[in-house]
Amino acid sequence: MNNLIYFIRRFLYLIPVLLGVCLIIFFLFNIVVGDPTPLLLGKNATIEQMETLREELGLNRALYLQYFDIVKSAFTLDFGRSWATKQQISQMIINGVVPTLSMTLPAFFLSTFISLIVAIVVAFYRGGKVDFVVRAACIAGMSIPSLSYILFFQYYLAYQEGLFPIQGYDYGFPHFIPFIILPALIWIILSIGPDVRFFRTVILDELYQDYVRTAKAKGLSQVNILFKHVLRNSLIPVITYVVIQLPYLILGAILLENFFSIPGIGSMILSALNSNDFPVLKSLAVITSLALIIFSLLTDFLYTLVDPRVKLS
């Protein structure tokens, strides 16, 4: 019952938080950026043309009405039309999120699983050669720019060896699988370094706790301590780390989607930036904020599942 009351209260707290997020988005796009009509029409635009465009886009209305539009879109998910394509933004997002998640979700969960296994191994052999080699490989991998991985794998594996399509995307399962394997592989390689270092640190922090010394004194094996006690107690920071990244999967990977011509949200962001399509950018900012708020609530719920000692109040 206490948990239910907690989640109801947290859900009600989302309303002022969302209003504040909408205010920040409004301030960034409507106040800081200023009048976008010169960007849309070019430097040779006349005052009359700019005034006409402002009226057409609703930019000459009172500021509080423009802020209310953002708030309304956050609660109704109706974001109006794109300035560049004149399409419904909600439909554009639906069309783009499928290719994006088909690539980011498998890559994310695979990289997380692999990184957690590797972190457990290096924590078990902490201070040894395996630990040193893995840490050195992680640091070396993180030091290489992501663009280098993309160009290298795209040239050698896709172009020279012909193992994967160089570019493109085909809707429908399983037709899209050949197109996402290479970008997903690059995502995994880019993610393993920071993930392993984080998971290793979390596990090592638990290994030096008093209860581990007590378990050793009672004669429990290192493997038993690591998997039955340490790993379980490490789940809260691991869950926080993993769940907080999930909303960003919606945004995709701008570089990967651009270089592999995947028509996802990342490509949509790049196109919106190039065409000064502010409604699309504002919509994606609102959706990302909503996802972050919802997943933060989900994180609290998962805490209670993995650790009965956690009481929400």
pLDDT, one tens digit per residue, over 111-167 is: 999 999 999 888 888 888 888 999 899 999 888 888 888 889 998 888 888 888 888
Q: Is the residue at 291 inside a domain? A: no
pLDDT at 313: 59
Q: Is the residue at 310 inside a domain? A: no
**Domain at 271, CATH number:** 1.10.3720.10
Q: Is the residue at 131 inside a domain? A: yes
Asked whether residue 167 falls in the same domain as residue 237, the answer is: yes
- Average pLDDT of 228-253? 81
Asked whether residue 122 falls in the same domain as residue 239, the answer is: yes
Distance separating alpha carbons of residues 282 and 73, to the nearest angstrom: 10
Asked whether the predicted pLDDT for residue 228 surpasses 80, the reply is no
**Following DSSP, what letter does each residue of 17-71 receive, concatenated?**
HHHHHHHHHHIIIIIIS---HHHHH-TT--HHHHHHHHHHHTTTS-HHHHHHHHH
Asked whether the predicted pLDDT for residue 170 surpasses 90, the reply is no
Asked whether residue 149 falls in the same domain as residue 264, the answer is: yes
Asked whether residue 72 falls in the same domain as residue 121, the answer is: no
Higher pLDDT, 229 or 150: 150
Q: Is the residue at 292 inside a domain? A: no
Q: Is the residue at 303 inside a domain? A: no
Asked whether residue 160 falls in the same domain as residue 253, the answer is: yes
| Stated pTM of the model | 0.82
All residues at 6 or more sequence positions from 257 whose CB lies less than 8 Å from its CB, including other chains? 99, 100, 103, 183, 263, 264, 265, 266, 267, 270
Domain stops at, among 26, 55, 76? 76
Q: Is the residue at 122 inside a domain? A: yes
- Domain of residue 127: give its range: 89-276
Q: How many domains does the chain have?
A: 2
- Average pLDDT of 97-105? 89
Asked whether residue 189 falls in the same domain as residue 250, the answer is: yes
